[in-house]
Structure 1
Amino acid sequence: MPDRVTTLVTGLLPTTLECRLRRRLICCLLALLPPTSLSAQNSDAGEFPDAVEFDAGAFDNAAFDDSMFDGADLFDTATEAPRNFRFQLSQQTVTHLSKHRYSTPAGTTDTQHRGLENNRLGLNIRYQNPFAAGWLLQSSAQLRAYLPGDYEHDNPGRDGWEWRLNELFLQRSGAQNSFSFGRQTIVWGETIGMSVLDVINTTEYRDLTIIDIEDARLNQWLAVWDHFSDSGSWSSFINLYPEFDPVPVTGSPLFPEPAQMNGRPLRLGSYDGKRDLFEAGTRWNRTLIGSDIAVMAARLYENALRYTLPTDGSNRTRPHINDFILLGFSANRAIDRLLLTLDVAYSHGLLTDVLNLVADSDDSALWLPGFDTQNRISMAAGFEYGISATQQVSLGVQAQRFIGLPSDSASTLWRQRETEGNALLRYSQSLRNEELMLSATAQAALDGDEVLLNLTADYRLSDTWEVAGQIILTHAASDSALFFLERDVRAGLTLSWSF
């Protein structure tokens, strides 16, 4: 390849890397949080995205006081009003302990060491009000203050703090039908943390405290209709304002360095929303003795935006969107204390990255990035096993394969592997009458390129105070998309007060 071509392709590697990293984080880095963290797993009620900062279990497992017989006198009309609001205040500190040099795909070397990485004060608010028979109003929001030392502290787009509405939906439930509208979550898969079917809601990964897809999942404005019958249940949704994964935060631990073009950092743009978009899907579920099966179909947009280099001389890349068809099947089987899960997805019309060989004005070879559409079959399988009342273990394995990728040729260079896979192993044990929770989570790409290990101890000091500590260890091969996480060690501490 001529020197000019080599230079251009090398310059494009960081851009392609950021796109590839964004895609692979969703299915490769699913393991750094314990089951007792933020996620409300397999719950359509929505979640609080900042996992380590806030334990949604304090809300999800809370019993809202709706009793009308509070007190000794059952005929006393003066009753205590239900607690509709719940709050949690937390302080999180995470330190990057390791300091090492690593090689980049472009052949240069760099050193990554942040010291203090996360230093933030968070307030989470949840409101839940069953204000009438069959009616429910629910919302949740979060406020984050980024203190000195936090990598977000000097972010000019946030002014040192950030507010976000997570949930806001109204639900009407009857004997056979339920309808809800607003910001909410749809979970279709069975394999916790590894499902290939949980692709309806968008996700956001900022740092190594928000890795599990259950915690990174964001709510969207959806209208959902559920119908229940003796032969099974139907669940359908429509989204008239599809959103996309938020643009990565440049300088964050998972996106430490932007790509360069003409000596300036490339900026990833957001979708301008000029087109009228919609997403829709339906799912049929049947419950059998000891098992559930479901089939589903949806028309969706890929959550991750794709980018090409700017053509107007600026340093802002051009975002591209793509719609595709998803067909899925899921099943589970309960055998005593063992639960087996299976998810299968067929995606028709996904975008794939290519480099096309074209002729320049002086007849020299020139490689330019582009896209092509391909189909993909994906599968996730696993089990959850209750060893005892205080010990649980789960395993999930995910694999996906593009169908009919052509071989590399002089005209096209494919930029993704034909087959990829990941494994996720979790173990947790509660001690001291469930006051102390110990957990270990390991996740690895099946080819060994990326390995993550998370060790967590969560101690409940009282009904309102809780402290959690964790150690995060990572390994990444030099040719991995996460090469800058090789031999990284991080330690975190979070103190929470619920009221």
Structure 2
Amino acid sequence: MRIARWPGLAGVAVIWLNPATAAEWSSTLTLASAYSYPSGDWQENSATWQPQWVQRFDSGAKLTAEGLVRVDIEDRLDPGQPSQPFRARDSRAYFPNDLTDLELRELYLDHYLGQAFVRVGRQQIVWGQADGLRVLDVINPLTYREFILPDMEDRRIPLWSALVEAPVADWTLQLVWVPDGTVTESMLPGATFALFDDPFQGQGQLQVERPRSGHQSDAGVRASAFVDGWDITVNYLFHNVDDPLVQIDPETRTTAFHYNRSHLFGATIARAFGSITLRGEVGSESRKRYALADYQGWQSTRETSYVLGLDYSVSGDLLISSQLFQTWRHQAEAGLDRHREQWTLLIRNEQMNDTLTLELLAIYDVQEREALTQLSAGYRLTSRWEVSGGVDIFSGNRTGTFGRFQDDSRVHLDATLSW
């Protein structure tokens, strides 16, 4: 039996052994449109239904399930019925046709064993203090269906995993185990936000040598405490690096995605000083691999990254937040940058009794001299209806991560109904 199915069996056992005391249903329906004004193409015209079911039991256990049903008549973000080579079998979505995808987003069981909190099932496990930039928040891989434009919660791929959290003296200890072999989901050539081009123009083959579920599990521990006004965590994770090493073999016309194991050590700190909050996060990977320019070789390096953040809250309605992200590669050679820096700026203003939210988010890459700027506004019409819209602007070097999508800058409009 596949290890990834054990959480589901645990949930079934609880249902049989404990009578239910209450059930809660909720749903959201979102209509979304996105138009690329440089190219004159629609990127998205979709309807997404996300139902959630919460079942409580006399034992105190709680079972949560969340699904996703999406119909996108443009079929540009993830065209056709993709084979999903980056996902383990039990974590894949279902595509009944080119325009529709169905997915079990989350399914997990919560319970207390004495003072220990246990969560088992398909879930998101979040580490770190950084907003949008990942240093320690690497337990769940990401999907790049819409690149990095959506909120991080919508970009993470929930994994079959187990979490135990318990107090130990003045600290809280968290243990995680992830047998799910899913890795970062890059969009294949032909998708709007494809991160790599097909060197063989559809005449080659793709090999994704991702980890086998249950055989190369991730496991980690986090200790957290509140010490003299500081929120502190110390982290360790033995994991598969979800970002791939891409290699091209011209003789066999093969593009291969490889993955390696690494030890990640890290820590976070945060403290509020009145209206100002200081945040810091650092992580060191024992091994990261990068492809050479021709994608026919690679180099390996130890890598250390950190984020320094400053949040300033003005009269409770205006938030100004800035972050510096820097990566150091300890054995960089053959054209690989020794260090990389990115700056982020977030300005969020809430008005009209918090019914109107205006936001600016900018990410600037120092080395590539490129940027992503997002301007958005959201208005809550009633307790159930909310409308939002904005513009996502890519600029800079066309060979860079952001600049390559200049022609995919877009305006978007969304309407969400909750019940």
TM-score by length of 2: 0.84
Task: Give CA deviations for 1:162-218 in whole Å, capped at 9, x if unaligned.
Answer: 011111111112552111111112211012222411111110111257454443111
**1:69-468, aligned counterparts within 5 Å?**
84-98=24-38, 113-132=39-58, 134-147=60-73, 149-152=74-77, 155-157=80-82, 158=95, 159=97, 160-174=99-113, 176-207=115-146, 210-255=149-194, 258-261=197-200, 264=202, 266-271=204-209, 276-310=215-249, 313=252, 315-354=253-292, 369-406=296-333, 413-414=334-335, 416-447=336-367, 449-468=369-388
CA pair 140-376 structure 1, distance change in 2 beyond 3 A: same
Task: Give CA deviations for 1:347-394 in whole Å, capped at 9, x if unaligned.
Answer: 102112236xxxxxxxxxxx7712232101111110222212222221
SS in 1 for 2:208: coil
- Distance in 2 (alpha carbons) for counterparts of 1:430 and 1:136: 34
- Distance in 2 (alpha carbons) for counterparts of 1:341 and 1:242: 31
Residue 227 of structure 2 aligns to which amino acid in structure 1?
L
Task: Give CA deviations for 1:107-153 in whole Å, capped at 9, x if unaligned.
Answer: xxxxxx14211111110112223433542211211111111x34158
CA pair 84-477 structure 1, distance change in 2 beyond 3 A: same
Cα distance, 1:224 vs. partner? Answer: 0.9
CA pair 175-388 structure 1, distance change in 2 beyond 3 A: farther
CA pair 299-468 structure 1, distance change in 2 beyond 3 A: same
CA contact (8 A) 1:205 1:211 kept: no
After alignment, is 488-497 or 154-163 more displaced? Answer: 154-163
Cα distance, 1:292 vs. partner? Answer: 1.1
CA pair 146-186 structure 1, distance change in 2 beyond 3 A: same
CA contact (8 A) 1:190 1:343 kept: yes
Partner of 2:7: none
CA pair 96-230 structure 1, distance change in 2 beyond 3 A: same
Q: Which has the higher contact order (CA 8 A, sep 6+)?
A: 1
Residue 71 of structure 2 aligns to which amino acid in structure 1?
A
SS in 2 for 1:215: helix
CA contact (8 A) 2:393 2:406 kept: no
- Distance in 1 (alpha carbons) for counterparts of 2:236 and 2:79: 44
SS in 2 for 1:248: coil
Cα distance, 1:483 vs. partner? Answer: 3.5
- Distance in 2 (alpha carbons) for counterparts of 1:281 and 1:272: 20
- Distance in 2 (alpha carbons) for counterparts of 1:209 and 1:191: 15
CA pair 289-131 structure 1, distance change in 2 beyond 3 A: farther
- Distance in 2 (alpha carbons) for counterparts of 1:172 and 1:90: 32
SS in 2 for 1:269: strand
Cα distance, 1:492 vs. partner? Answer: 0.6
Partner of 1:491: 411
| Structure 1 spans left out of the alignment, 5+ residues | 1-80, 99-112, 356-366, 407-412
CA pair 488-170 structure 1, distance change in 2 beyond 3 A: closer
CA contact (8 A) 1:176 1:229 kept: no
SS in 2 for 1:486: helix
- Distance in 2 (alpha carbons) for counterparts of 1:294 and 1:172: 24
CA pair 210-85 structure 1, distance change in 2 beyond 3 A: farther
| RMSD between aligned residues | 2.4
Residue 405 of structure 2 aligns to which amino acid in structure 1?
L
SS in 1 for 2:387: strand
Partner of 2:9: none
TM-score by length of 1: 0.72
CA contact (8 A) 1:473 1:489 kept: yes
- Distance in 1 (alpha carbons) for counterparts of 2:211 and 2:306: 32
Residue 390 of structure 2 aligns to which amino acid in structure 1?
Q
- Distance in 2 (alpha carbons) for counterparts of 1:169 and 1:350: 32
Residue 390 of structure 1 aligns to which amino acid in structure 2?
D
Residue 144 of structure 1 aligns to which amino acid in structure 2?
R
After alignment, is 269-278 or 245-254 more displaced? Answer: 269-278
CA contact (8 A) 2:371 2:403 kept: no
After alignment, is 330-339 or 444-453 more displaced? Answer: 444-453
Residue 348 of structure 1 aligns to which amino acid in structure 2?
S
**Higher radius of gyration, 1 or 2:** 1
CA contact (8 A) 1:125 1:142 kept: yes
CA contact (8 A) 1:258 1:265 kept: no
SS in 2 for 1:317: strand
How many residues matched? Answer: 384
